[in-house]
């Protein structure tokens, strides 16, 4: 299953660049079932792994934490559920 990175998790004055919001295009109930699974962001040279840690809202968007910071080019790109 593939999802799209929407952006970093952020507050009013800060942003966490290793935590991102991901939209898989699924419902809230289906999103609850994928908590704890791993995701992978692929680039030409890099592969960064992360883990789905929480839900974000009631529309099926999830929050994932990656092992390293994601670059800015990762926004609006795809991640793959492992």
Kindly report the average pLDDT of the chain as a whole number. 95
pTM (global) more than 0.85: yes
pLDDT value of residue 20: 96
- Count of beta carbons in the 10 Å neighbourhood of residue 82: 11
* Domain count of the fold of the chain: 1
Full residue range of the structural domain in which residue 50 is found: 2-81
Per-residue confidence band for 32, with pLDDT thresholds at 50, 70 and 90 = very high
Q: What CATH number is associated with residue 17?
A: 2.40.10.190
Using CA atoms, how far apart are residues 24 and 62, in angstroms rounded to an integer? 8
Per-residue model confidence (pLDDT) at position 45: 85
Give the contacts of 45 (CB within 8 A, at least 6 positions apart): none
pLDDT digits 0-9 by tens, 38-68 = 999 998 888 999 999 999 999 999 999 999 9
Mean predicted confidence (pLDDT) in 65-78: 93
């Amino acid at each position: 299953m593939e999802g799209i990175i929407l952006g970093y998790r952020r507050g009013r004055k800060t942003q966490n660049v290793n935590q991102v919001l991901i939209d898989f295009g699924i419902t809230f109930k289906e999103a609850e079932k994928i908590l704890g699974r791993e995701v992978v962001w692929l680039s030409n040279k890099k592969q960064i792994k992360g883990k789905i840690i929480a839900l974000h809202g009631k529309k099926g968007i999830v929050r994932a934490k990656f092992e390293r910071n994601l670059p800015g080019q990762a926004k609006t790109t795809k991640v793959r559920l492992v």
